[in-house]
Structure 1
Amino acid sequence: MKKTKTCYLTELDVARLEKHAASPGADARLQDMLDEVLERAVIVDAREIPANVVTMNSQAMLVDETSGEEMTWTVVYPPDADFTHGRLNVFSPVGLALLGAKRGERIRFTPPSGTQKVLKLDKILFQPEAADDFTL
């Protein structure tokens, strides 16, 4: 049995994610991906989310402990995604793995290349809720 980590999501993020997954023309797989995340999610009020958890529009620094490579990504909704500028589509394998993860955790995901990667969530540089911004 695969051990799945609990992730913490805010009510607003879940509502918006549902909206994106259900939007006309959205890939049907988005809803399946979202359902998978929601199965292990604890949904909390935005004001109760811990500051060390990645939420939508959070900027996080990750480290590939094998290569020592550091990367900074912001988890965004599909219309705002721009991988070259570090704006990661939440519906990508790494985006979904990162959403709800806690600082210090290792996230596992399988990118399109097919080789599983493990990255350590080193720092959360920005989290809207910690900055008292509940509209992002």
Structure 2
Amino acid sequence: MEPLASLAKRKNSGSGKLSKNSKLFKTILAAIHEKKGEKVVALDLRKIPEAVADFFIVCEAPSQPQVKAIADNVEDRVKENCGENVFHKEGFQGLQWVLIDFVNIVVHVMHPESRKFYNLEEMWSDAAVSEHP
């Protein structure tokens, strides 16, 4: 569970809560869809006091090259469209689970087996889940 280790070390930013209508949220979803990310869901964590972010966006890709392509595209599009840099990222070595942390939104690009094993949707079952086909 290495990618989650960095979340415990983060500092809460004072930038306020985001919404699903934020430019960052929409840009991330568009970047995932551009590279054909599958089973895209957003977990709304804003009502969970222990949550480390406002949203988790989770998607999967059937191959390691596609996991990398999605993750790279998310990072590039956010920088291009929102002017924001990644706070932290990890998982690019194994490409089974890439975590891209934008502080208020954390993106998880996962290989199907990793997604099934870690089951983030169940782990954060108190969060409101919305699908983004």
> Structure 2 length as normaliser, TM-score?
0.29
Kindly indicate which of the two structures has a greater share of residues assigned to helix.
2
The structure that has the greater radius of gyration is 1
Higher relative contact order (CA 8 A, sep 6+): 2
